[in-house]
Structure 1
Amino acid sequence: MRNSNNVAKSGNSVSKLKALAFSAIASATLFSASASADVILHAFNWTYDDVAAKAQEIANLGYKKVLVSPAYKSTGSAWWARYQPQDYRVIDNPLGDTNDFKAMVNALKAKGIDVYADIVFNHMANESAIRSDLNYPGTTILNQYAASSSYYNSNKLFGDLSTNLFGSGDFHPAGCITNWNDPGHVQYWRLCGGGGDTGLPDLDSNSWVIAQQKAYLQTLKNYGVKGFRVDAAKHMTNYHINAVFDSGIKSGVHVFGEIITSGGAGNTEYDNFLAPYLSATGHNAYDFPLFASIRSAFSYSGSMNQLVDPAAYGQALPSSKAVTFTVTHDIPLNDGFRYQIMNATDETLANAYILGRDGGTPMMYSDHNESGDNRWVNLYKRTDIANMIKFHNGVQGRSMDIVNYSDCFIMFRREHVGIVGINKCGSGQDVWVDTNAEGLWWYRNYKDTLTGNTQYITSQWHNFHIPARSARMWLMQ
């Protein structure tokens, strides 16, 4: 990280910044008027009972939406087993069953919180080690259904549990992906683990498969689910996605895809997968381009000016399309993405950025230490996160205006209601602000939700000090 000189009173830099940020501010304002940017809690690998039991706590913390792990028939205690579906027609896995899921939805709804469901539609479970056919869920599970018919029928979402859901004609031919830059290869061949692994059986987009997937989504909607996260969306054709997520399914719900990239426009993954997905489906997506900009800005040689208006250069998604984050479950849990884990302090500062800015729907990830890093256990209720959400909710719907920036810091305001300052460097930064030009109110306290530091404005020029390696989120009292 580079230090820079403290910023003196300067109207020129502010004017230049306002001109530069105009397009981002305009798009952010449109987003505020047309969509909700309520914070999503990603309750990763939580049981449905646990989520339901914490409904009041989650509401008190300011969350408005909760994303839960994939809900269908799956076996195995490991987190990744939830991403290997055996049957859509029943919710039955170590996180709970259909009745537990419905009770969770109702418990959260009673507190004004929406449930989002994580959806895996490109493949079924890799069970080549225990059987050679592609009949799902297969004889063993069908026998379980028959032996406990009362239980399973009480947990049935749709369909006939006496027969298989899918057969060999519902899958693409076997074969592992070898060219990760070729959309056709990525979408028609299997995800394999190496060492002779035959991979995850890749579903075809035939009429039967689409009908079953739509029936599953419609049932979850009937239960009250308000959002769907499309896992591994790059591995499905946009034709398949649009056939399943038709206008009826999408009506009244928030749909967003997971397509991991290491950058925005000009990045191969973005150009080949994410941009076409957004264009062809109209869905939202994880804002991996913004995440790459954040990681670059907080790097040793990076500059915080990269966060002034990354969307203007194709390095962030449009505000109305973005689900923003500082970590997703794939990053710490998959060796190939662990390089994207941020320094812990930088991640905290980045959380202040995504929860302070106007743009996108922020998501906070909270796990049970599945990765072994011990970084995100109970993050959802960490004091700093709760206080950032307090700021976010306090300025919801307010437009954003850049106040000033340097290599070390960025400062922006949310109309006259809130001011955010983030300093990545090792020395404190004094930022003199023309309160008249910025429309800040005099003789009012602006209290930092993170530390309690209070700024009382009584004159045109006011110094906002941002200590080293810190964020401040001042909210007008």
Structure 2
Amino acid sequence: MLPPQRSAVRRGVFGAAVAALVVVLAACNNQVPLEPDRAAPDVGIQLFQLPWTAIADECEQTLAPNGFAWVLTSPPNEHIVRDEWWASYQPVSYELESRLGTRDEFADMVQRCDDAGVQIIADAVINHMTGQDDPGVGWAGTPYEHYDYPDLYGYDDFHHCGLTANDDISNYDDRAQVQTCELVNLADLDTSRQNVRDTVGAYLDDLLSLGVAGFRIDAAKHMDAADVEAIIVALPEGTRIMSEVIRGGGEPVQPEEYTAFGEVFEFTYARDLLPALASGFVNEPETEGDRPLHVPADKALVFIDNHDTERGEADLTYRDGDLYVIANALMLADDYGTPVVYSGYAFSDRDAGAPADDAGRVTPVSCAIATDLPADDYEDGARTCVQTWPAIAGMLEFRAFAMDFPRLEGVSEGDAYGFERAGRGVIAVNVGDEATSIQIPTTMQDGKYCDVVSGGRESWTNDGCRDDEFSVENGVATFALAPFTAAAIHLGTAHR
């Protein structure tokens, strides 16, 4: 029996239906029709702890060809000399010399990526400096002490909150502690001081002069939103700002405070989606208006995991294989927020840095030659190369066809779930351990369509579909799904 038909309102606007009907299928067998209109890429990817030379290669060889719009890099500043990944998040100076590369290599990466059509977003650590009690020397040879950074900051440029025994944050329900005490001993800059704002602004301007498109503001939650805005408004118009503000239930500092001057990473998105997938039941989100406990869609950056959450709260990571593919596929098919895919390296020690040479420089790795991914198992240090997974590339293609069209109400049948992007594409997932079938009402034209999850970005050949094929008949898309699989079709994969 077919599932109930949705109302005309829920099935999309008239224009979307018309757009679907004007696509004419080719007359000869196994020929894909003329390609419908595509949207410009919007999806970003975090290439965690990847050297600048390798990111430049990825922009040219995997990111631009697969349809990514921008890359979030790790922090480019000089940092403490340690092997752990978090060394990059303990600035010693704002020189662009780090274990990920030199200033010249960073500039070359920005230019090569820009030439390929991929923008660079730099991770900007401006809330704090180091967390080291003992004096030391940074990666580029700059001496420092906990509250003394030559030619940058002195003792009076830091908060000394006096609210806890060791000046560390102990109570996240106290706004003053969150924004003036130290996060795990990291020397907390007093961003209300004009000289601190000017120094931070000069660092960001330097990066902009090399061509970066914007910044992820690390630990933005730990700075008063007015302080962050005061730094941001002095930057050139059009600078993209992405604030990291981890939402905590009942806490006084919330992400909405930071949306006036840019986008915000919405941690609630993954928190809502991932436990449902792990339990075998997909929740239907709000599909009209704002979603509860989410910033507005046009301000939201959504992700399945990142470098912090994969070492902490994330329910799904690269280790979860099929379910991780399903989660990313649903995110890329959704109409809420701007998706950010995550690509890092395997680890068993949560502090372990990326593999490095004898001098401590992180080893460049190319994902262009990666095959048979996602893997069933990864050795420590191996790059996950998520940007080359066929399912990810295929869903980026799906998004290009569907992103300008509304998400319609989903259908659930047992462990299966799916929804349509009005007249442009349909996605279905099975999060159960048994094969199942699901039927999803659609305004897409009747016919056969190649699956982009199994078939990848180029899911068809002149001989037919590269992998799975699904049909639309009488306004219903039917998906027969193996356990723990996703499938998606769009107008560009139609054939007879």
Q: TM-score range by the shorter chain?
A: 0.7 to 0.9
Partner of 2:423: 416
Contact persistence 2:287–2:407 (CA under 8 A) = no
CA distance in 2, matches of 1:344, 1:458: 32
| SS in structure 1 at match of 2:327 | helix
1:362 aligns with 2:339: yes
1:200 aligns with 2:186: yes
Partner of 1:11: 4
Gaps spanning 5+ residues in structure 1: where?
Answer: 1-7, 26-34, 144-161, 193-198
Contact persistence 1:37–1:359 (CA under 8 A) = no
Counterparts of residues 266-281 of structure 1 (less than 5 Å): 267-269=249-251, 272-278=253-259, 281=260
CA distance in 2, matches of 1:407, 1:316: 27
Partner of 1:446: 449
Partner of 2:482: 467
CA distance in 1, matches of 2:99, 2:169: 30
- Deviation per CA, 1:292-351: give whole Å up to 9, x if none: 110232242x742343549755143322111111111001335xx366758443222110
Q: Which moved more, 1:47-56 or 1:388-397?
A: 388-397
Tell me the CA shift for residue 210 of structure 1: 0.1
Residue type at the aligned position of 1:51: I
CA distance in 2, matches of 1:107, 1:37: 18
Partner of 2:399: 392
- Deviation per CA, 1:161-202: give whole Å up to 9, x if none: x9521111111116111112212111100112xxxxxx1111
| SS in structure 2 at match of 1:249 | coil
Tell me the CA shift for residue 446 of structure 1: 1.9
CA distance in 2, matches of 1:245, 1:407: 48
1:316 aligns with 2:294: yes
Contact persistence 2:98–2:140 (CA under 8 A) = no
Tell me the CA shift for residue 39 of structure 1: 1.4
Contact persistence 2:241–2:261 (CA under 8 A) = no
Tell me the CA shift for residue 250 of structure 1: 6.1
- Deviation per CA, 1:396-442: give whole Å up to 9, x if none: 323322242246332211222211112212233433344xxx32112
Pair 1:340–1:190, CA change in 2 (3 A): farther
Counterparts of residues 302-341 of structure 1 (less than 5 Å): 303-307=281-285, 309=287, 312-334=290-312, 337=313
Q: Which moved more, 1:306-315 or 1:356-365?
A: 306-315
Percent identical: 24
Partner of 1:147: none
Q: If the length of structure 1 is used for normalisation, what is the TM-score? A: 0.78
Partner of 1:124: 129
Pair 1:139–1:225, CA change in 2 (3 A): closer
CA distance in 2, matches of 1:378, 1:313: 31
Contact persistence 1:424–1:468 (CA under 8 A) = yes
Partner of 1:195: none
1:294 aligns with 2:273: yes
Gaps spanning 5+ residues in structure 2: where?
Answer: 17-38, 162-166, 351-377, 455-466
Tell me the CA shift for residue 130 of structure 1: 2.6
Contact persistence 1:418–1:446 (CA under 8 A) = no
Residue type at the aligned position of 1:225: V
Tell me the CA shift for residue 214 of structure 1: 1.0
| SS in structure 2 at match of 1:42 | strand
Residue type at the aligned position of 2:450: K
Out of 86, 102, 108, the residue aligned to residue 107 of structure 2 is 102
Residue type at the aligned position of 1:55: C
Pair 1:230–1:462, CA change in 2 (3 A): closer
CA distance in 2, matches of 1:329, 1:371: 14
Contact persistence 2:80–2:138 (CA under 8 A) = no
Counterparts of residues 159-238 of structure 1 (less than 5 Å): 164-173=151-160, 175-192=167-184, 199-205=185-191, 206-238=193-225
**Greater fraction of residues in helix:** 1
Tell me the CA shift for residue 75 of structure 1: 3.3
Partner of 2:470: 455
- Deviation per CA, 1:252-289: give whole Å up to 9, x if none: 13211112236xxxx224x63223333xx342111211
CA distance in 1, matches of 2:348, 2:326: 22
Q: Which moved more, 1:285-294 or 1:405-414?
A: 405-414
Partner of 2:368: none
Contact persistence 2:395–2:452 (CA under 8 A) = yes
Q: CA RMSD in A?
A: 3.1
Partner of 1:70: 75
Tell me the CA shift for residue 219 of structure 1: 1.9
| SS in structure 1 at match of 2:398 | helix
Tell me the CA shift for residue 378 of structure 1: 1.6
Tell me the CA shift for residue 392 of structure 1: 2.0
- The count of aligned residue pairs is 413
CA distance in 1, matches of 2:404, 2:477: 25
Q: If the length of structure 2 is used for normalisation, what is the TM-score? A: 0.75
Pair 1:142–1:312, CA change in 2 (3 A): closer
